[in-house]
Structure 1
Amino acid sequence: MTTPLSEPAPAVLRPHAEDAYARELDALAKGDTLARPPRWNLSPQAVTTYLLGGRAADGTEITPKYIGPRRLIEVAVATLATDRALLLLGVPGTAKSWVSEHLAAAVSGDSTLLVQGTAGTSEESMRYGWNYAQLLAHGPSREALTSSPLMTAMAAGKVARIEELTRIPADVQDTLITILSEKTLPIPELGDEVQAVKGFTVIATANDRDRGVNDLSSALRRRFNTVVLPLPASAEDEVRIVSRRVEELGRTLELPDVPAAQQEIRRVVTVFRELRSGLTEDGRTKLKSPSGTLSPAEAISVLTGGIALAAHFGDGTLRPHDVAAGILGAVVKDPSADPVVWREYLETVVRSRDGWSGFYEACRELSA
């Protein structure tokens, strides 16, 4: 059944970066008079402005996509302008995939050339596969060949993305070595090859929690420049990150308006930072840390869920009991050890903290 032409296209739940931020990218491109590497849509300086925020030449406000050290983004962008691939490394929730997507959108205008790394990622996903109907009917030919995102990026001079590189089996990882060093992808079945066009590069991401899963070989690691994305350095930075993403997600999901609750955002961020570091904000009390990472991404999820609860089942204001269940679910990942860590934190820190009695009671009720 086809949709009548008179009906509007359905709203996409999560637009690609190049679509969601098309106005900003267009404004930057129109006012960008600086030198651009081959097939880049923007100059390196404009790409950096797109990631970190600022203003385009016509005054258009460019919202920050990443809040963190400027030098890290400059190093990442400079790497993409060379013949080196870029590896974004960090603990889960440090915006590696987010930065990767926005870098690809700014450089190539296309963030969709993506290989999702898993234990089941095959060599065909990295190189090419075959349309078996065409193969049986006409034999090996370019028409029967199905391009991987990497092959497509090589031929078009664009950025290819690989998510969770260390989740991919080691023998499949090594198919990248020839691509990254020789900038060519052999097709022995056809006695042919695909040579990378200028502008081609690769951005990969990996969690440093995955060390030992499928470690990169030294030969492959040498093909990458590694940029480590840290957790936010200060509580203020983390609150800014979480606030901005919660607001954006609320608009995307079309959640009913809930008055901005900076108090609850700061509370969630404080809990996560203290448990993550094993130390209270004032530095006076040492804490046990739970098994999870408690990253800004998880804080965003807790607060978005809390807003949905407040909007649909509460009085329209985000309150402590709206975020308590989400925090409990984020902290308690290991059912044997984490409940002890959480109860100890509640009793030694939260219980006596000024202004936190409502949060303490809500958490106690859920933990009982």
Structure 2
Amino acid sequence: MSTPLAQSPEERLQRPPAEIRYAEELAALRACDTHHRPPGWQLSLLAARRFIVGDDEAGVSRKFVGDTALVERALVTLATNRGLMLVGEPGTAKSLLSELIAAAVSGDSTLVVQGGAATTEDQIKYSWNYALLVSEGPSTRSLVPAPMLRGMQEGRLVRFEEITRCPLEVQDSLLSLLSERVVSIPELEGSEAMAFARQGFNVIATANTRDRGVNEMSAALKRRFNFETVFPIPDLDTEIALVEAEATALLRSSGVTAAPDRDVMEVLVTTFRELRSGVGRDGSGMDRLSSVMSTAEAVSVAHAMGVRGWFLRGEPADAADLVTCLAGTAAKDSPEDLARLRRYLEQRVSGRRGAQWKALHASRHLLAGG
């Protein structure tokens, strides 16, 4: 029986935050950063941009495949007193971008509020240690700061994921935070009853365009944010390279040593792009899936394919693995999507050149529900 290699504590984490994954790059950028920094920032705007979009000459990897001008506008917004709202289709790397920005600006991307129907104001601002509250009464010892209060006290960026999934009254609890830069704690007395934001505090929120109508933001809250839209990756080759790189990293962390096959990745990404846009590669119209066929979903499917091929057969994933793994993605939102996917495999893939396209068509019978 083989003995697993010794791993560091960071390597044993399923997904370390960006400030841990890229600690060496951040340290090097801080050491050579001679540009002006906004108050409370750990990097200048120029160094933060280099960290996110990469710099080959400085040995800094590109982490966000998107519009550099978008990154610049986002950083400029956060250097002011306006919050940043990232909107876009699910899976367009909004959360990744917010994490990278927080790691660059604050050195900490873990101050996160995850929005949802069950999110409460306590989870945003603060709560209490009730044992201490009963024994000692309200005090700073019994106060348990939530991400927003910590971000204000420490002068750090706070990430609010999927804000439009929260009830409207919970969203509006941010109004005084973003305008007055203060949290009122009425249970305490004197100077402790008000917590004022330190330099460096701001908020990055995300909302996907499919959920924006669930709990529409109030006009007052919208005015406190600058909105930036994150679009899907327009270039096929760039998306293939990204999916291949991300899938390779995920497979390595799952114990898979076989790298993804480039031709299989091309088939996977092309399939996702066509089903996402409703336009074939020849420009003709076709059925578009209602399910989210994003780059992030493509990475997830590539990961599942690699795990399936390696642990079931001891070899890299092939087109048959793609068919079996696609069903779980295609059938999330509508049963009709499975039928659309079946028609795509039967009609659109037929006749395409390339061994993997032919294998994909030949494996169409493996589609669940067929």
Q: TM-score normalized by structure 1?
A: 0.93
3-state SS in 2 of match to 1:18: helix
CA separation of 1:104 and 1:334: change in aligned 2, threshold 3 A: closer
3-state SS in 2 of match to 1:66: coil
Unaligned runs of 5+ in 2: 1-5
Residue 11 of structure 1: how far off its partner (Å):
1.3
2:225 counterpart of 1:224? yes
Which residue of the partner structure matches residue 341 of structure 1? 340
Q: For 2:7 and 2:262, how far apart are their aligned partners in 1?
A: 39
Residue 259 of structure 1: how far off its partner (Å):
3.7
Residue 334 of structure 1: how far off its partner (Å):
4.2
Between 240-249 and 62-71, the greater mean CA deviation after superposition: 240-249
Q: For 2:15 and 2:347, how far apart are their aligned partners in 1?
A: 41
RMSD: 1.7
Which residue of the partner structure matches residue 62 of structure 1? 60
How do 1:211-360 and structure 2 match up within 5 A? 211-253=212-254, 255-283=255-283, 285-334=284-333, 336-355=335-354, 356-360=357-361
Contact 1:24 1:60 in 2 (8 A): no
Contact 1:242 1:265 in 2 (8 A): yes
Residue 347 of structure 1: how far off its partner (Å):
2.1
3-state SS in 2 of match to 1:204: strand
Runs ≥4 residues deviating over 4 A:
6-10
Contact 2:161 2:207 in 1 (8 A): yes
Identity of aligned residues (%): 41
Question: Which letter maps to 2:328?
Answer: G
Residue 157 of structure 1: how far off its partner (Å):
0.5
2:38 counterpart of 1:40? no
Unaligned runs of 5+ in 1: 1-5
Question: Which letter maps to 1:235?
Answer: L
Q: For 2:316 and 2:129, how far apart are their aligned partners in 1?
A: 54
Contact 1:259 1:316 in 2 (8 A): no
Q: For 1:94 and 1:8, how far apart are their aligned partners in 2?
A: 31
Q: For 2:19 and 2:335, how far apart are their aligned partners in 1?
A: 44
Q: How many residue pairs were aligned? A: 358
Which residue of the partner structure matches residue 49 of structure 1? 50
Question: Which letter maps to 2:320?
Answer: H
3-state SS in 1 of match to 2:203: strand
How do 1:173-188 and structure 2 match up within 5 A? 173-188=171-186
Q: For 2:178 and 2:251, how far apart are their aligned partners in 1?
A: 40
3-state SS in 2 of match to 1:337: helix
Between 356-365 and 37-46, the greater mean CA deviation after superposition: 356-365
Q: For 1:137 and 1:295, how far apart are their aligned partners in 2?
A: 52
Q: TM-score normalized by structure 2?
A: 0.93
Which residue of the partner structure matches residue 28 of structure 1? 29
Contact 2:342 2:364 in 1 (8 A): no
